[in-house]
Chains A and B, each alone.
Chain A
Amino acid sequence: MSDLPKPEDFAPKTYRPGSTDWMDVPAEIRKGIACYAGNPKSLEAVGLPNPRTWSCFDEDWQLPENWQQIIHEGFKERLEKFRSFKVFMDICVRCGACADKCHFFIGTGDPKNMPVLRAELIRSVYRNDFTKVGKILGRLGGARPMTIDVLKEWWSYLFQCTECRRCSVFCPYGIDTAEITMMGRELLNLLGLNIDWIATPVANCNRTGNHLGIQPHAFKDMLDFFVDDIEEITGIHVDPQYNKVGADILFITPSGDVFADPGTYTCMGYLLLFHFLKEKYGLDVTWSTYASEGGNFGSFTSHEMMKRLNAKMYREAQRLGVKWIIGGECGHMWRVITQYMDTMNGPADFMETPVNPITGTRFEHAKSTKMIHITEFTADLIKHGKLDLDPGRNDNLRVTFHDSCNPSRGMGLLEEPRYVIKNVCNEFYDMPANTIREQTFCCGSGSGLNAGEDMELRMAGGMPRANAVKYVHEKHDVNTLATICAIDRAALPDLMSYWVPEVEVYGVHEMVGNALIMPNEQERTTDLRGEPLPGMEEADE
């Protein structure tokens, strides 16, 4: 992060827009805030249009000759297909309630990062191409034709939006600005204008079942590694099942959890929990080396791609004949499942409405998708007193919780993760009310923007979140930021080391794994990271 400005130089000098009309201010596409172009091999692999080597920093983006026609027709098709899109184009009164709610606007001060203006970039073309007022009044009516500069502006600002939907919470009309970004990105994809941090995970997922391109034998190899580590720490040999036909429950988590720290410790937490439940209650859970990804970078590309990648989870559930699915600590997966799955690949009638066989709890809200979030499952177990927990083993952690955008705003999961944390940790402190729950501030790196080359943008967009963490760090000595999303676990460590270096990032089920007392376990001296447990520091030396 050596090219980054220092934290103290970061805050925007002003939030006041300049005097030039926004239509006359061209987008500045520069290093530090822009992502690299999609690798043509990845585009080709999934049949995305116009695969070629290009760079957003070049003048010539190597577009097809009829690119304006492609955008116009793609726009028209989507207005007809998605009523929400048409409504969102028409009903905004530009009241500005959303303007200062976006973390990218707060972090950069760039007026085009106000959600209202970001959407206006697209609306202005909509008015020009599809409304009478726009056709007659032109610029006076807020309309402008699609030009190469407008296209570049779209690209720049649609990839400075994490589709987090904080703005939509404040919109009096309920406009979902994230869906406008999604539509915009879908149109850009018609011209091959994706970024590599999205395009390559999509291609990998299509090929191997997960974003990282982990093949089945490697997937098992990685889990085996955790199994060995767990045995060293607890003396218990956990024995995960893979691709088991006839298992009761299929478990699917983001591949980041099996590959990247600190998600790998969360993964060890899942393994411990499932082993505990198998030993004590005979719970029959299987992992899949094919449906080995909960996340869906297709949703950052197009509806069609989202549907394609989502389908594999349900195909696998059908093939294995499981009753229902538990999904891991993932973010955008839950927006896809909760808001699109039902009409996209569902309803999944070949499965049963999830019922926790240990407690009898019926998860009625998942009767269409047949998938529940693991914190719902664990919270239910704790509520019924089914887990043996020693929260004292997490006493070195003073915890706050970052509501991941999609589980909170996309599925309303607010209470369960907190309930779990409060039962496995003794010290919990929420951040200020306007920065959590449905008003949570994004990590600044969601929707595929968690690349390395746009670090300045990520640190700017993550600043509001980091500020709230800093507040509880200073007030309550918080040293642990818990989260339930793999992008968070990948992105927040960078954000913390930049803004609040005293704070470490944890998954919720890592803390569950620390606290969970396994039947016949040896006396533990370390946590899942191999660090001495509270009170065991001397034993380590």
Chain B
Amino acid sequence: MPTVEFGGKSFTVDEDGFIDDYTNWNQEWVQYVKKEEGIDELNDEHQKVITVLREYYEKNGIAPMVRVLSKVTGFKLKHIYELFPSGPGKGACKMAGLPKPTGCV
């Protein structure tokens, strides 16, 4: 599996650039994905999305469905796309260190 270096840290990632293991997540990873996603400034709203995603994942072992993310954060899907241009899965989940879901999705 490929590795990426950022801020003096090394991360193993899958083909789509998701981190290999949720526990290897740290602030350098967040900064790395911020750069990859082309996000200018991380604000409280980005932080809120990441916190909600990680808390849900810790409790449930899976990313929340988009509708849950939207309801809990209070952000409409359109706004989540404004925060994370690649969307809730490929943008926000990636930054939060969650794996990508597979199946009939």
- On A, residues with C-beta under 8 Å from B are 36, 39, 53, 55, 196-197, 200-201, 204, 210-215, 217-218, 221-222, 225, 229, 254-256, 258-261, 263-264, 295, 297, 450-453, 486-487, 489-490
Contact = CB atoms under 8 A, between A and B. Distances in A.
26 contacts: A36-B14, A36-B15, A200-B102, A201-B103, A204-B102, A212-B62, A213-B61, A213-B62, A214-B62, A215-B61, A217-B60, A218-B60, A218-B62, A225-B71, A254-B104, A258-B65, A259-B105, A260-B105, A261-B65, A264-B65, A264-B67, A295-B104, A451-B102, A453-B16, A490-B104, A490-B105
Given A211-B104, A214-B62, A260-B66, 15 more contacts: A39-B14, A200-B102, A201-B103, A204-B103, A212-B101, A217-B60, A218-B60, A225-B65, A225-B68, A259-B65, A260-B65, A261-B66, A264-B67, A453-B15, A487-B104
A215 B60 contact: yes
Given A36-B15, A215-B60, A197 B102 contact: yes
Interface string B14-34: 111000000000000000000
Contact of A212 (B15, B67, B102): B102
B69 to A, nearest CB: 11
B60 A297 contact: no
Contacts of B105: 212, 256, 259-260, 490
Is chain B's interface secondary structure helix, strand, loop, or mixed overall? Answer: loop
Contacts, number: 78
Contacts of A490: 104-105
A201 B102 contact: yes
A54 to B, nearest CB: 10
A293 B57 CA distance: 20
Nearest to A199: B102
A261 B104 contact: no
A418 B18 CA distance: 42
Question: What interface size band does chain B fall in?
Answer: 10 to 19
Contact of B103 (A212, A215, A229, A452): A212
A297 B105 CA distance: 13
A335 to B, nearest CB: 15
A263 B66 CA distance: 12
Contacts of A259: 62, 65, 101, 105
B102 A196 contact: yes
A255 B104 contact: yes
A55 B67 CA distance: 34
Nearest to B101: A212
Nearest to A42: B102
A78 B67 CA distance: 45
A474 B32 CA distance: 45
Contacts of B59: 218
| Most chain B CB within a 10 A radius of its CB, from A222, A259, A264 | A259
Interface in B1-16: 1, 14-16
A200 B59 CA distance: 21
Nearest to A41: B20
Contacts of B102: 196-197, 200-201, 204, 211-212, 451
A55 B102 CA distance: 18
Contacts of B60: 214-215, 217-218, 221
Contact of A295 (B15, B66, B103): B103
A221 B67 CA distance: 13
Contacts of A254: 104
A255 B67 contact: no
B104 A225 contact: no
A493 to B, nearest CB: 11
A218 B59 CA distance: 8
A225 B68 CA distance: 8
Contacts of B103: 201, 204, 210-212, 255-256, 295, 297
Contacts of A222: 65, 68
A477 to B, nearest CB: 26
A217 B59 CA distance: 9
